[in-house]
Amino acid sequence: MSGESLISVKDLVVEYTSGEDVVHAVNGVSFELNAGETLGLVGETGAGKTTIAKSILGILPDPPAKIRGGEIFMDGKNMLKLSQKEMRKVRGNKIAMIFQDPMTALNPMFVVGDQIAEVIRLHEKISKAGAAKKSMELLEMVGIPGERGREYPHQFSGGMKQRVVIAMALACNPQVLLADEPTTALDVTIQAQVLEMMMRLRDQRGTSMLMITHDLGIVAEVCDKVAVIYAGEIVEMGTKEHIFDFTSHPYTEGLFGSLPNLNTKTKRLKPIPGMMPNPSSLPAGCKFHPRCPYATEACKTETVPLFETEPGHLVRCLRRDPRQVR
Amino acid sequence: MALLEVQNLKKYFKTPRGILHAVDDVTFSLEEGKTLGVVGESGCGKSTLGRTILHLLDSTGGKIFFKGEDITVVSRNKLGELREDMQIIFQDPFSSLNPRFSVSQTIREPLELRGRLSKAEMEEEVDRLMEVVGLAPRLRNSYPHELDGGRRQRIGIARALALKPKFIVCDEPVSALDVSIQAQILNLMLDLQEKNGLTYMFVTHDLSVVKYISDEIAVMYLGQMVEKCESDRLFERPIHPYTQALLSAIPIPDIHAQNKRILLKGEITSPINPKPGCRFAARCAYATEKCREPQELREWEPGHFVACCRAEEVSA
Amino acid sequence: MATERKKAKKNSRFWEVMRRLRKNRLAMAGLVFLLLMILISIFAPLIAPYGYETQDLYNMFALPSAEHPFGTDNLGRDIFSRIIYGGRASLTIGFASVAVSAVFGMTLGAIAGYYGGKVDMVIMRVLDVFQAVPAILMSIAISATLGPGLVNAILAIGLSTIPGYSRMTRASFMSVQGMEYIEAARAIHCGDRRIMLKHVLPNAVSPMIVQMTMGVGSCISVAAMLSFIGLGVQPPSPEWGAMLSAGRNYIRDYWHIVLFPGLAIMLTVLSLNMLGDGLRDALDPRLKN
């Protein structure tokens, strides 16, 4: 793993306007994705995970979404300042995205082989025959017989469709793959197949990956580093070992407590009480304090920064404030 | 005596491409106060099984005994009585609530239909039910679209509880929810079971959830039950090759877990005009000639049922 | 969360739709124009400067002037007054025939969509036969059989447009039927009638409201057409289509005789269509907020 930073996101702030309400979807998120590394973005519905990925790819619908601040650097260029035309070159060539629902990414009117070939021809100067041949190779690569490229999306099952989408995303050898819940819609045994394949291709090609998921099991398997997102903020970030073995933020703790454990007999789950705050009126202080079992008066008012408890392990919790004597 | 006994239950659907065997010859029994988890992947017939038992779908064949009485063929009046004892909680808290009904209207409806309570008594009962499932009284007049998934699911549970049923089919009740909310709902369901002596049939594709909540687990594949035994035992010692693959496919949230994954070939197909043999054989690493013959669910060890002719070899 | 927002208990949906509709200028313009036309029709005797039958024989074919804002027709009647009175017949035909076809069409569609199977098959095939004849031809045929007159025109137009409503109702019933809350209602032993009226109908009604709004416009056009060929409302009762028809002989020399009734029909139909478009957007739950 080379440690070179490929994408760096700094203080990203994204808002959505809906009617009179302003939804604070992403509130100052910073992280780096290094070459050859897989970063997991973990969080629940509405935490802002997908918004972050869409900001990187420059495909946020504006309106209603609006990037209010921050920078996203790739190759030394601030991607938020690129023109639509320059951004189109980045998409596909350097960054590609896989969505949760493979059906939305495929056009039901065309055979899948042609759709992959079209993506190749958009980004590469290559003959029609060359692109067709390459699209067959890509299908074989994701474990689909090349001749099935002549079939339409509806002739494929869900898992197969997701493979096609992955083949499409990898068509131009992107350096970064943004995977937004790529296996959530799939059955477990199919999920296992697809994950295995994604990891194999990632390792072969040295692709960096941003893995968006709510499933800590997938994180344990796929990711090197993890960022836990809550209400549009990173509440804990570190290596996989930091997050799983030295869980520090009460929210991360709560997520683990909510999961039934397969290996030990759990008598009763320890869920996080309450629910996600309304992103259009977030609580003051620590955004997790209304649900936190350790919340103190300070948590209700003070803005909590990320504390580095160990090199590379960041926690947004006053209990980890190194200035406080314990 | 078992509260529910299902014998050779079949549910077929006619499709343009042939007969779809959604539930094919399923037999099991369920003791009062227990939970049977039914797991399987999409298209294995687990939801159809629950709906057929509840008479939301008519069965094609077989028998269903509830409290010792065959309920496969019942009159409409009898069905009304039966539905006080048997209820269902749905997967999708978005589509399972009428968007034009307020919270109290939804919970009140089953009571209204019975017409046993006066208006005031009904209101009291609605308040009680809302408290039982943990809905704040101020939400009485809220509409589903104003609420989040967890609260909606609580409404669905309150509606199912309104008639004080003995048996509830839970059709993926937490699959659409976030983990932290999922845990709240699972705990609620366990509390309700303990307090009211409820019997659950818990249908899900999520194996960690099913292990947590079930006493017994039945694994289904393409309309058939391939393995059934006590919950912990199934995870310790799965016999059927499909169960083994299924269990090994779960991503475990533990970075130190040593997980030997069995990757299956191919994907699940739909059970249209199936051939008589084992339906898993095409994807099974252990398949032989013998697997082309029909497989019986047999008692492999006391309480542990497997439908695999090669169980001996597989488990060795 | 949105739950904290206190809402009026009943009619909250109505006001919600109105709130969204208000943002649509075209729809509001349509609504205002329509309300205006309805008010004018109701208070016609108070507003009209002349009676609709009053002849001014010295002033036949008069061009618009201060005395006769829209001019006079071939019999010297004030066109402005006749348009004001004519709105009564035209709007009545529009709304009443929609009511006729909606009641019959929606009932048939609801039964077909809810029960499906053979019932559906029989109803839909009968409607197919019905629909094989163009609606306009059908209304002419019915009207010719029943004879001219306001009520018969309403029946003719209403009956001929039944299949459209049935199909739409059936389709939207079938889509609502797939929702889990219908299954939930069955599970608590809700009867068919109650499921239809309480669970399916309220959730299937939005597209029909739009269709009905737009339908009023097209019915007014068809009524105008019937009058034009002499089958609708009979002279001397004023009706916009009949006025148009009566003026057609003089169109080369006296444009105003056909222009103003034509404009009245056009503007009314246009405003109904704009309102219908706006309603479609306002009722679409996907466009909430």
Q: What is the structure's pLDDT at C2? A: 37
Confidence of residue C285 (pLDDT cuts 50, 70, 90): low
Q: What percent of chain B has pLDDT over 90?
A: 45
Domains of chain C: 16-52+72-287 (1.10.3720.10)
Task: Give the number of C-alpha atoms closer than 13 A to the C-alpha of residue B228, restricted to the C-beta side.
Answer: 21
- Give CA–CA dist A85/A88, Å, rounded: 5
Look at the block and give the residue holding tokens 């629940």: A44
Q: Tell if the CB–CB gap between B109 and C13 is shorter than 8 Å.
A: no
CB distance A216 to B250 below 8 Å = no
Q: What percent of chain B has pLDDT over 70?
A: 99
Q: What is the structure's pLDDT at C215? A: 85
Does any CB of chain B come closer than 8 Å to the CB of residue A175?
no
Helices first, then strands: H and E counts in chain C: 14, 0
Domains of chain A: 5-94+174-320 (3.40.50.300)
Q: What is the structure's pLDDT at C9? A: 42
Does any CB of chain A come closer than 8 Å to the CB of residue C1?
yes
Exposed/middle/buried for residue B61 (C-beta within 10 Å: 0-12, 13-18, 19+): middle
User: Chain C residues with CB-CB distance to B under 8 A?
Assistant: 1-3, 5, 7, 9, 12-13, 179-181, 183-190, 194, 198-199, 202-203, 285, 288
Does any CB of chain A come closer than 8 Å to the CB of residue B236?
no
Q: What is the structure's pLDDT at C6? A: 40
- Give CA–CA dist C73/B109, Å, rounded: 63
User: Chains with ≥3 Cβ pairs under 8 A against A?
Assistant: B, C
**Cβ neighbours of residue C19 under 8 Å, at least 6 residues apart?**
none
Smallest Cα distance from A18 to chain C, Å: 6
- Give CA–CA dist C161/B98, Å, rounded: 31
Going through chain B in order, the beta strands assigned E by DSSP cover 4-15, 18-30, 35-39, 61-66, 69-70, 86-89, 167-171, 199-204, 216-221, 224-230, 298-301, 304-306
Smallest Cα distance from A212 to chain C, Å: 25
Are β-strands B35-39 and B216-221 bridged in parallel, bridged antiparallel, or unpaired?
Answer: parallel
> Which one of B149, B184, B211 has the shortest CB-CB distance to A262?
B211
Region A203-217: mean pLDDT is 91
Q: HEC profile for C232-287?
A: CCCCCCCCHHHHHHHHHHHCCCCCHHHHHHHHHHHHHHHHHHHHHHHHHHHHCHHH
Look at the block and give the residue holding tokens 């790529």: A182
Whether residue B25 has pLDDT greater than 80: yes
- Give CA–CA dist A78/A75, Å, rounded: 8
Rg (chain B; Cα; Å): 21
The fold for domain B4-97+163-315 equals: Rossmann fold (3.40.50)
> In terms of Cα–Cα distance, which of A175, A320, A303 is closest to A237?
A320
Residues from chain C contacting residue A18 (CB–CB below 8 Å): 289
DSSP class of residue C200 equals I
Confidence of residue C1 (pLDDT cuts 50, 70, 90): very low
Q: Tell if the CB–CB gap between A18 and C289 is shorter than 8 Å.
A: yes
Q: What is the structure's pLDDT at A264? A: 66
Confidence of residue C289 (pLDDT cuts 50, 70, 90): very low
**Cβ neighbours of residue A110 under 8 Å, at least 6 residues apart?**
A152
CB contacts under 8 A, B 174-203 vs A, are 178-184, 186-187, 190
User: Chains with ≥3 Cβ pairs under 8 A against C?
Assistant: A, B
> Which one of A187, A220, A254 has the shortest CB-CB distance to B251?
A220
Q: What is the structure's pLDDT at A173? A: 83
Question: What are A211's two structure tokens?
Answer: 């893995």
Whether residue B200 has pLDDT greater than 90: yes
Question: What are C282's two structure tokens?
Answer: 């306002």
One-letter amino acid at C179 equals: M
Residue range B251-286, pLDDT digits in tens: 888 888 777 788 887 777 778 888 888 888 888 888
Question: What are A5's two structure tokens?
Answer: 């930073």
Q: What is the structure's pLDDT at C7? A: 41
Smallest Cα distance from A21 to chain B, Å: 15
Look at the block and give the residue holding tokens 């090197």: A224
Strands across the sheet with B4-15, in order?
B18-30, B4-15, B61-66, B69-70
Q: What is the structure's pLDDT at A228? A: 95
- Give CA–CA dist B308/B298, Å, rounded: 8
Residue range A190-200, pLDDT digits in tens: 888 888 888 98
Smallest Cα distance from A157 to chain B, Å: 8
Nearest CA in chain A to B146: A278
Q: What is the structure's pLDDT at A1? A: 43
Q: What is the structure's pLDDT at C11? A: 54
Q: Tell if the CB–CB gap between B254 and A188 is shorter than 8 Å.
A: no
Indicate the Cα dihedral angle C72, C76, C81, C82, nearest 10°. -100
Whether residue C8 has pLDDT greater than 60: no
Q: What is the residue-averaged pLDDT of chain A?
A: 86
DSSP class of residue A319 equals G
> Which one of B97, B142, B147 has the shortest CB-CB distance to C181?
B97
Does any CB of chain A come closer than 8 Å to the CB of residue B42?
yes
- Give CA–CA dist C111/C166, Å, rounded: 9
Whether residue B290 has pLDDT greater than 50: yes
Residue range C139-156, pLDDT digits in tens: 888 888 988 888 888 998
Residue range C234-243, pLDDT digits in tens: 777 888 888 8
Residue range A66-110, pLDDT digits in tens: 888 898 988 888 888 888 888 888 887 888 888 888 777 888 888
- Give CA–CA dist A309/A121, Å, rounded: 48
Residues from chain B contacting residue A158 (CB–CB below 8 Å): 42
Q: Tell if the CB–CB gap between C203 and B100 is shorter than 8 Å.
A: yes
Q: Tell if the CB–CB gap between B183 and A272 is shorter than 8 Å.
A: yes
CB distance B260 to A269 below 8 Å = no
Task: Give the number of C-alpha atoms closer than 13 A to the C-alpha of residue B147, restricted to the C-beta side.
Answer: 27
- Give CA–CA dist C224/C97, Å, rounded: 13
Are β-strands A313-315 and B224-230 bridged in parallel, bridged antiparallel, or unpaired?
Answer: unpaired
Residues from chain C contacting residue A278 (CB–CB below 8 Å): 1-2
**DSSP secondary structure, B162-185, as one string:** TT--SEEEEESTTTTS-HHHHHHH
Nearest CA in chain A to B186: A269
